[in-house]
Homo-oligomer: A and B are copies of this chain.
Amino acid sequence: MKHIVQIPSFLKTISKKGAAPGTLTHVGLQKVKKTHLGIFRYGKNDCEEKQITKTKDLQEKPNTVLWLNLDGLHDIALIEEIGTRFALHTLLLEDILNTGQRPKIEEYDDCIFIVLKMLHVTGDMQFSLEQVSLVLKDHLVISFHEQPQDVFDPMRERLRKGQGKIRQLGADYLMYRIMDSIIDGYFSGLEHIGDRIEEVEKQLIDKPSDAVIQKIYSLRQQMLFLRKAVHPLRDVANQLQHGECDAIQENTAMYFRDLYDHTIQVIDAVDTYRDILSNMLDNYLSLMSHRMNSVMKVLTIVGTIFIPLTFIAGIYGMNFRYMPELEWAWGYPAVWGVMLTLTLTMLGVMKWKKWL
């Protein structure tokens, strides 16, 4: 039996004891050596992309959307500088730095703040969740990641080439595209998990062992964790879809409705996997119990018939000097007769009791 139910790391990072609210501390693991701060600035006809080191000098340009992307959360000074440049609330910055958040959406006076969890398949049966924070403000989207993410590359490519609608629409559509890429990551993750479940089922059938049972419980445990991460996503998407946020334009709201749909599909899939795993275990345990019953019945029948017979044989194997039966000429056949009668009687009783 291996360790299967580690306390998930996000439960270990929720604590930040004694500090005053608004104190900026990075709570979580440093997953990247150096922070990278990149900008994408695009309008209908052009797109500019570069790495920068500070945001102080960033100017607003009319009719363009600015996407500021920070990979790595340990450089508190930089995050504070970003906060000052774009007038972000300290509580918001604090949440960005604390990677133990649940997915949520918060409206501030002049911006929307969204926290999401990205699903990473880190090993054969292992998943990790990484925090992504998004700030939407006028023509600006700022995204904060624990480490650089590949999943955004196709989107970046489309931005550069001006494909599709992305350059035509505003910052709210950009935010939608970032969120959509993250949800798409869940779909790939779920497919991977689905494959693992099928593998595990095959193993359970072909060669059930302690290890397989543990794998199933481990997967079920992970479905529970995943469910907790995915469930609040629905509320986030729901709030966005209903256009309750001023920052979301009406024609973008439709895309958030699509996002909401995807979120529901993810939740559905996680629930379905959990049900499948539970059903698989129940089935296996029922079968075990059913077979055990047949096996034990055989032992009982064999035992119940032969133990008394062996006793009788034992009796006449005793070496007493005076045992009259031993001298009788028909003693031996008589014993056989007794034994046969006994056996037949017991078989009859068993038959009558429906054991056979």
Confirm or deny: A202 has a beta carbon within 8 angstroms of a beta carbon on chain B.
yes
Distance, CA A19 to CA B329, complexed state (A):
88
Q: With A100-B265, A293-B292 given, is the CB distance from A21 to B308 under 8 Å?
A: no
Confirm or deny: A46 has a beta carbon within 8 angstroms of a beta carbon on chain B.
no
Q: Mark A275-298, 1 if CB is under 8 A from B, else 0.
A: 110011111111111111111111
Query: Is B309's CB under 8 angstroms from A320's CB?
Result: no
Query: Is A316's CB under 8 angstroms from B316's CB?
Result: no
Query: Is B315's CB under 8 angstroms from A224's CB?
Result: no
What is the predominant secondary structure among interface residues of chain A facing chain B?
A: helix
Considering only CB atoms, which chain B residue lies closest to A100 in the complex?
Answer: B265
* Stretch of A49-57, A74-82, A118-126, A190-198 that contacts chain B: A190-198
Considering only CB atoms, which chain B residue lies closest to A313 in the complex?
Answer: B314
Q: Mark A299-330, 1 if CB is under 8 A from B, else 0.
A: 11011101111110111111111110111111
Confirm or deny: A33 has a beta carbon within 8 angstroms of a beta carbon on chain B.
no
Query: Is B11's CB under 8 angstroms from A194's CB?
Result: yes
A residues 240-274 in Cβ contact with B at 8 Å: 254-255, 257-258, 261, 264-265, 268-269, 271-272
Residues on A lying within 8 angstroms of B by beta carbon are 1-8, 11-12, 14-23, 89, 91, 94-95, 100-102, 104, 106, 108, 151, 154-155, 158, 163-166, 176-177, 180-181, 184, 187-188, 190-191, 194, 197-198, 201-202, 204-205, 208, 210, 213-214, 217, 220-221, 224-225, 228, 254-255, 257-258, 261, 264-265, 268-269, 271-272, 275-276, 279-300, 302-304, 306-311, 313-323, 325-332, 335, 353, 355
